[in-house]
Structure 1
Amino acid sequence: MACGLDPRALVAEVGLPSDCLDEPDLKVPARLVCHLLEVAAARGGEPALGLRMAQSRQLSNLGPLGLLVRDELTLGAVLEALVQHIHVHNEALAVRLEKTGNLVVIYEEIVGVGEQPVGQASELVVGVTFRILSFFLGAGWRPRLVCFSHRASATLRAHRAFFGEAVEFGHQFNGIVCNGADLDAPNPAADPVMARYSKRLLERELGPDSRFSERVHQLVVLLLPRGHCRVEVVARHLGVDRRTVARGLSAEGTSFSELVDELRDELLSRHLEEGRGPLGELSVLLGFSTPSAFSRWHRTRFGVSASQRREVRTDALRTGRP
C-alpha cells in the first residue's frame, strides 16, 4: 500500500476475509469496510485516503453495472442507471437525483453501518462518482459544488486538487451539485443494444432474495434530511401506492414507521459519536419539522432528553469510559 501499511494485516485485523483483496465481486460487510478505511487513514497519516483510492477507479470497478453505464446514450441516463441499480453493486449505498431549476443534485449516503464513522467511505464514493462524471464530461469538467456531511481534515489541498475549489464540509448530505445541462452530454461510445443486454443481466442478479424493505430503506435515508420522508413520497419513487409499500414491508416483518425510527437511531448515534452540530440542526437532519418534535420523539424512545444523552456521551469520550 502506498501509505506504507500492510493491507492483508489490516484486513485480518478488522475481521474481513483475506480473499476480499483478490476477489473483486466478493460481497463483504460495509461496516467493516468503513472501519478498515478509517483505520488505514489514521495509521497511514493520510486524511485523504478515500480520494486517493477514488483516483484509480474505472468503470470496470463497478462490475456488471459498469457495463451498463458505459453504453447509455447520455450522462443523464448513466446517472439514472446508477440510481436504479447501485444496490446490485453496493447494498450499503443509496443514490438519488434531484433537479432544482438549472441544477442537479446527486445525493449519496452510506446506510446500514450503525455508528461506524463513514468519512473516508463517503469521500471514496463521491470521488468515484466524480470520476464517472469526468469520464463523460472530460477531464477539465468541474462540478458547481461537492458536499460532505463530515468535518474537514486539517488541509483541503488534496480535495481541491481532485474536485476543484468548490468543496465544502458540514453539509446535510454527501454528494455533487452540477449544471442540469451536463446531463444532456452525449456518450459517443454508447451502444443501446449492449445497454439493454447489461440491464437484463443486472435484473437477473437481483434474484428472488432481494428485499423490498432494502429499497425502501435506501429511499428513507435520502429523503429524511430533506423533510420529504413520507410513505406516499417513497411510494411515488418506487412507482407504487402507499398500500403496496405497507403490504411489502409487512410481508418482511416490519413497517414504514419502524424503518424510519431505526434509521433515525442509527444516524443520531453517528452524529453524537462525531459530535456534529447543535441538536436543533440534528432535528432537521433526522426529518423532524421542529426541535420540539425531535425532543418528544427522543424522550419517548430513549427515556431521556437528547441533551442529556449528548452530555453522557461527551463525558464518556473525555474520560475514556465506554
Structure 2
Amino acid sequence: MTDLIRSAALTHYPDVARSVGLDPKQMMRKARLPLACLEQPELRIAVSAFRRLLEMSAAESGAQDFGLRMANRGGLTNLGPVALIVREQPTVGKAIEALARYIHIHHDGMRLDVRRSGNTVMIALNLRGRHPSALNQSIDLGLATVYRVVQVLCGDHWRPVEMHFRYPAPRNRERHQDFFGCPLVFNSEVDAVLLSAHDMDRRIASSHPLMASYLRKRVEEIDTRPGSWEEKVDEVVRSLLDSGNCTVERVAEHFSCTRRTIHRHLAECGTSFSAILDAQRADLVTKLIEDHDRPLAAIAIQLGFSAQSAMARWFRGRFGCTITDWRRGVRPPAGAPSASAA
C-alpha cells in the first residue's frame, strides 16, 4: 500500500529550493508531484515522491543539508492537528508520547519509538519502505523535525544529549553540528535523538487539560485513516473535486504511479475510478446546487463535466429528476427507479 504524507510537508519547499538556486516547480515535476499540493496543505501525496524530491534537490543544488534547511523552516507548525495535541500536553514526556502516537496522521511512512534507559531517553526514527540506498535528506528532515518539536517545548537553549545517524559522516559536518549543537554519532545502528530523562518531566506552561482531552478525541477521529486503495483514492478524489480539477491522471500523481496502476488496484478492490468519481460527484453536487446564485455551468466545470448539458443528463439519471426540480424540492419518492434504471 502506498504511504502518504500531508502536502503541508512541502509548505516551505519553494523558498528553500529557490535559496539554493533551484526552480521549485521544475523540481516537483521531475519528482512527479502535483503542483496543486503547494496550495492545499491537507492533500495527500506519495511519501516516495516526497523523498525523491528531497534527494534530487540536494543532489542538483549541491546543498547536502537540504533536509535540515527544510526542518529549519517548518518543525511543529507543519504537523497540523498533531501539533495541536502535542502542545497541550502537561509535560514534555507526555508531548513526545503524543507525537510518537499520532505522527502517522501527518506521515504514513514515519514511526517514532520512545525508549528509556537510565538517565537517557531515545526517540528512534523509523522510515517505512526505506531502501538500502541513501535517504539522507529524509532522515535529516525527520530527525531535525523531532529536534525542533522538543526545542519548542523545552526552550531555545535546549540541546539533545546526542544525535545518531545510520548513514556515514558527511564530508563537512559543520552544518549538522551548528544545527543540533551536540555530539553527533554517524554509522550508528539507529537514527535517533537522545535527550536527558530529566527533560521528560519538564512542565509545559501553556498546556490545558480540558483542551488536551478535546483535541485527543478530535485527533482520534482523524486517525481513522483510509487503509485500502479504494478508501485512499476516494479521499483524494473528494479533495480534488473540491478544488475543481479531478481526473484519474491527477489522482495517479498523488500516489506517484500511473493511471493503469490506479485502475488495477481498484479492480482488485471490486470497484473502479468511475464508480468512486460518480459517488463523490453525487455527494458534492447536492450541496453545490443548494446555492441558487452559483451558476450551473460553473458547477459542471468543477465536477469535471464537459458541459452543463452533460451534467444535467447525469443528474437526471442519478437522481431521477432535473436539477430545477431538485432545487424546488420536487423529487421522486424514495425507491422510485431513476431514469438510468428505467
TM-score scaled by length of structure 2: 0.59
Structure 2: which 5+ runs fail to align? Answer: 1-17, 229-342
Q: Are residue 53 (structure 1) and residue 70 (structure 2) matched?
A: yes
C-alpha distance in 2, partners of 1:208/1:123? 26
- Whether 1:95 and 2:112 are equivalent positions in the alignment is yes
> Residues 113, 149 of structure 1: CA spacing in aligned structure 2 closer, same or farther, 3 A cutoff?
closer
Q: Does structure 1 conserve the Cα–Cα contact (< 8 Å) formed by 2:161 and 2:182?
A: no
Structure 2 equivalent of residue 161 of structure 1: 178
Amino acid at match of 1:192: P
Shift of 1:179: 0.7
Code of the aligned partner of 1:182: D
User: What amino acid is aligned across from residue 112 of structure 2 in structure 1?
Assistant: V
The CA RMSD over aligned residues, in Å, is: 1.7
* Count, aligned residues: 212
SS in 1 for 2:125: strand
Paired AA for residue 203 in structure 2: P
Determine if contact 2:32/2:49 at 8 Å carries over to the other structure: yes
Aligned partners of 2:218, 2:154: CA distance in 1, in Å?
27
Label 1:127 to 1:58 Cα distance change in 2 as closer, same or farther (>3 A). closer
37-46 or 25-34, larger mean C-alpha shift: 25-34
Normalised by the size of structure 1, how large is the TM-score? Answer: 0.63
Matched, 1:198 2:239: no
Listed as ranges, the gaps of 5+ residues in structure 1 are 212-322
Correspondence for 2:86: 69
8 Å contact from structure 2 (residues 160, 182) kept in 1: no
- CA distance, structure 1, for counterparts of residue 161 and residue 182 of structure 2: 9
How far apart are 1:136 and its partner, in Å? Answer: 1.5
Q: CA separation in 1, counterparts of 2:192 and 2:140? A: 9
Partner Cα distance (2:27, 2:133) in 1:
17
Q: Which amino acid aligns with 1:189?
A: S
Residue of structure 1 equivalent to 2:24:
7
What secondary structure, in the 3-state scheme, does the structure 2 residue paired with 1:28 have?
Answer: strand
Q: Per-residue deviation at 1:64?
A: 0.4
1:26-81 CA distances to partner (integer Å, 9 max, x unpaired)?
21111111111011001111011111111111422110001101111000010110
2:39 corresponds to which letter in structure 1? D
2:160 is aligned to 143
Preserved CA contact (<8 Å) 1:30 1:113? no
Determine the structure 2 residue equivalent to 1:78: 95
- In 2, Cα distance between equivalents of 1:51 and 1:41: 11
Change in 2 beyond 3 A, CA 1:116/1:192: farther
Distance 1:16 1:185 in 2: 40
Amino acid at match of 1:103: T
1:43 aligns with 2:63: no
What is the CA–CA distance in structure 2 between the aligned matches of 1:182 and 1:42, rounded to whole Å?
37
Deviation, structure 1 residue 116: 5.8
Change (3 A) 1:166 1:36: same
In the alignment, what sits opposite 1:171?
A: 188
SS of structure 1 residue aligned to 2:193 = strand
